[in-house]
Structure 1
Amino acid sequence: MLKMSIQKDLVPDKSCLQQRLKLEAIFNSVSDGIIALNEGYQITSFNRAAGEITGIEPQNAVDQPYADVFKVRSQNLAKILADIQVDGKRIEEMELEIDRADGQKRTVMLNVDRLVDVDGNLAGVVLIFRDISEVRRLKEELEGRYRFHNLIGKSRQMQELYRLIEQTADSDASVIIEGESGTGKELVAHAIHYNSPRADGPFVPVNCSALPETLLESELFGYVKGAFTGAMRDKIGRFEAADGGTIFLDEIGDVSPLVQLKLLRFIQERQFERVGDRKSIKVDVRIIAATNKKLKELVRE
C-alpha cells in the first residue's frame, strides 16, 4: 500500500518534469531571443537565441539585472518597462541598437509584454527580439546606392539636378526625364524614388523599347487566363507589382498610341484592366518615365 501510494505521488512529479523539459526544448529552439524578467527587472529565463544575439551564455545571464546583459544604446528601456507594468500596453516592433558582450553593435526588433501569474497578478515582463542587423545593412546599402552616391558631379548643373531631384521627390506627380542614352536617367529615377515617401515601396523598371506592342501591354497591365493563346493562367502586370511604390517606364517615346491611351487613362483615373478582362483594378503607383527623344518636338511634328 505504501509502495503504491509513493508511486501515485511520483507520477505527477514525473509528468511535470517531462512537461518542463519539453517546454525548455521549445524555448531554446525558437530563433527569436526571449528574456523573462521579474518585477525587479532581474533575468529569470534566457533562451539560447538570446545568448547568440547578446554574446552572453544563458547560464551567465540568469539572475543578472537585465541592463547588464541587454545593453540598449539610446532608448530609455527602463522607462518603457516601467510604463508597461503600469498601463499594460505592450510594445510591438520597436527597432533599437544594443551592444554585445564583445562590443559589437546589433540592430534588433523588440517586442515587450507583461507576464502574469496563474492568479492574473503581475509577475514581470518578457522581451522577445530578433537580430535584423543584416537586413538593416542591406537596406541601407541599397538605399545609399541611389540617394545621390551614384550621381557624380559638383558642377553648377549637377547641383541644380540634385535640387530638382529633392524637389520632385517631395511631390507625388508623374515625372518625365529627358536625356541622351547613357546619361544616367535611371539613376535619377532611383534617386527620386528613394528620397520620396514611397521609398519603402517597390521600384519596378520597365524597358518599353525592348518589347513589341502586344507584349508590352500585357507586361504592364497583366492578363487573365484565356486572354490570348498561351495565357494558361492569370498574371499580374508591372503596375500591380508596383502598388505602393514607383514604376519606371524607360524609353517611353517608343510606346505605341494604343499603349499610350491606356497609360493616359491610368494617369487620369488611377485604374486599368488586365488584357482580356473588363474588371477595373485600382493601384497606388507613381509613374516616372524617361526618353532619349525630344517629345515636345515630336508632338509639334
Structure 2
Amino acid sequence: MVVDDDEAIRQMLAAVLGKEGLQVVTATDGVEAVEAFHRQHAAVVLMDIRMPRMSGLEALKKILEIDRGTAVILMTAFAEVGTAVQAIKDGAFDYVIKPYDIEEIRLLVRRALEIRTMRADIVSLRRELSERYGAEGILTDNPRMLELRQTIAKVARSNATVLVSGESGTGKELVAAAVHYASPRATGPFVKVNCAAIPEGLLESEFFGHEKGAFTGAANRRRGRFEQAEHGTLLLDEIGEISPGLQVKLLRVIQEREFERVGGSTTIKTDVRIVAATNRDLEAMVRAGTFRQDLYFRLNVVTLKTIPLRERPEDIRLLAHHFLERFSADNDLAIRGFDPSAMDCLLAHSWPGNVRELANAVERAVVMSTNGIILPEDLPEGIACRTAPNPDALSATTASGPARPLRDLVNEFETRVIREALGRNGGNRARTAVELAISRRALLYKLQEYGIGPAGRDGEP
C-alpha cells in the first residue's frame, strides 16, 4: 500500500513497485489508508508522515493495532528524522528521507517482504517442532502415558523446574523436549548436556563457560550451556552424576539466577528454565549423602515419571510400526510391515532397554530384511523367537491310540509345517531352512521326499 497526499508520488511509486510484480493499492491520507487496510491487509505500507486529516504517525498506530506483522515504511523530510526514529521505536519497519532514491525504496520493500516470509517460515517451523516434539508427539495408547502427556501440557505453561525420572531408554529426553516446545520458551533454544558423558574436570566449564587462560588449553573465551540456553530451556541429563562441589554451584545458579565463567569475576545473569533427568533414585542418594537435599528440593518442583515399555505393552505394536516407517524411509527401503510371527516375538520380549531397545531392534531388522517384510530372523538374536508347533495340529490321534501309523502322521505334520514355512518366506528355501533350524541340504531332501514344490526362489532345482 502506498499512502501519500501527492498524486504524482502515488502514481510513480505504484508503477515502480508494480514492475516488481507486486500488487499495489493506494490511499490519499491516513484515514483512507486505515479504511483500506481494514478491507485488505497489505504486507508492506509505504506512507508519508505529513498528510491531511490523519498523519502517518497516527495511521501507523492504527494499522499496527490491526496487524502487528505489517511492515510500515515512513517517508519523511530531513527535519522530521527525530520523529521517524521515534516511530521505529513504536513499531515502524524503517524510514526514508525525501527526496528518496527509487532503488532505496525497492530495496527496503524487498527486505520487508523477505523478513515477513522468514517470520512465516519460523512460525511454521515452530508449529512443526511443537507437533513433533511436543506432548502430542509422544506416541502412546497407554492410559498412564496419556495422563503423562496431559501433565506435560500443564507443566509446560509454567516456568517451574522439572525433574524427569525413569529407566534408561524410556524417553526422558523426549519428555523434556515436549516441556520446552509446549512452553512460552519454545522460541528460545533447547540445549542438552549429558552430565555422565563429560569428564568431571570439564563439567563446570561445560555448564558456565570459561575465560581465556582459565586453565591449560583454554585458548579463547567460551560460552557455557547456561549462556547458550538463554531465554530457553536447559536439559541436565543424568543429573545424579555431578560431583558435590558442582552441586553447590548449580544450586546457587538455580537460586540466584546468576553465575561466573570459570576463571572470570564478572557476574552473568541468566534466564533459563532447567529440566533435569535421571535414571537414578535421587531420594536414596540424598539419604546416602551423595546428593544435596537442598538441590534435590530445588530440582524436584514438578516430577514427571516415564513408564517402562514392559508396563505399556499396548504401545509395542504402535511404536514398532512408527520406527519401521522412519527407518525404512531413512534407508530408502520398501518394507511392507511385520510378519505376524515377528510381531509375536516383539510382543513377547521384556524390553529391558525400553523404547531405545525397540528402536534399535527395528532399525536392525529393516537393514537385515531382504524379503520386503520383517521376519523373526531379521530381529536381533536376543529378541528373535520361533513359534512352537500347536499341539492341536496333531489331531490324528484318539483316546485309544493312533488312528494311523506314526510314520504317516509325522510325514503329514512335517509336510504341513514345511509348506507353511515356505509360504511365510515367499518360497525362499534358505530362509525356510533357517526358520526350521535345519540345514539347507536337509530341507532339499525333505522337499524331494514329500514332493513339495515349486522349487523355490534361490535358483536350485
TM-score, normalised on structure 2? 0.45
Aligned counterparts of 1:38 and 1:280: Cα–Cα separation in 2: 51
* Alignment counterpart, residue 88 of structure 1, candidates 29, 32, 56: 56
1:200 and 2:187 equivalent? yes
Contact 1:93 1:109 in 2 (8 A): no
Alignment of 1:64-103 (within 5 A): 65=25, 76-77=40-41, 86-89=54-57, 90=60
Output one character per residue of 1:34-68: Cα deviation in whole Å (capped at 9) or x when no partner: x64555897642598x6xxxxxx627768x6469x
* Alignment counterpart, residue 111 of structure 1, candidates 55, 71, 93: 71
1:178 and 2:165 equivalent? yes
Aligned counterparts of 2:11 and 2:141: Cα–Cα separation in 1: 54
Aligned AA for 1:112? V
Aligned counterparts of 2:240 and 2:70: Cα–Cα separation in 1: 49
Alignment of 1:38-57 (within 5 A): 38-39=4-5, 44-45=12-13
TM-score, normalised on structure 1? 0.66
Aligned counterparts of 1:168 and 1:76: Cα–Cα separation in 2: 39
Contact 1:92 1:111 in 2 (8 A): no
Q: Counterpart of 1:300?
A: 287
Output one character per residue of 1:179-226: Cα deviation in whole Å (capped at 9) or x when no partner: 111111111111111222212111111111110111111011111111
Partner of 2:271: helix, strand, or coil? coil
Q: Counterpart of 1:290?
A: 277
The answer to which structure has the higher strand fraction is 1
Q: Which shifted more, 244-253 or 131-140?
A: 131-140
Aligned AA for 1:277? G
Q: Counterpart of 1:146?
A: 133
Identity over the aligned pairs, expressed in percent?
A: 43
Aligned AA for 2:13? S
The answer to which structure has the higher helix fraction is 2
1:231 and 2:218 equivalent? yes
Aligned counterparts of 2:212 and 2:21: Cα–Cα separation in 1: 61
Aligned counterparts of 1:222 and 1:119: Cα–Cα separation in 2: 48
Please identify the structure whose Cα radius of gyration is greater: 2
Q: Counterpart of 1:104?
A: none
* Alignment counterpart, residue 19 of structure 2, candidates 45, 58, 63: 58
1:294 Cα offset (Å): 1.3
Q: Counterpart of 1:14?
A: none
Q: Where do 5+ consecutive residues of structure 1 fail to align?
A: 1-34, 51-56, 98-107, 121-125
Q: How many residues were matched structurally?
A: 241
Q: Counterpart of 1:187?
A: 174
**Pair 115,228 (structure 1): closer, same or farther in 2 beyond 3 Å:** closer
Alignment of 1:237-276 (within 5 A): 237-276=224-263
Aligned AA for 1:88? G
Aligned AA for 2:162? V
Q: Counterpart of 2:297?
A: none
Aligned counterparts of 2:62 and 2:205: Cα–Cα separation in 1: 41
* Alignment counterpart, residue 264 of structure 2, candidates 277, 280, 295: 277
Q: CA RMSD in A?
A: 4.1
Aligned AA for 1:111? A
Q: Which shifted more, 215-224 or 152-161?
A: 152-161
Output one character per residue of 1:82-112: Cα deviation in whole Å (capped at 9) or x when no partner: 9x86242336997x99xxxxxxxxxx95312
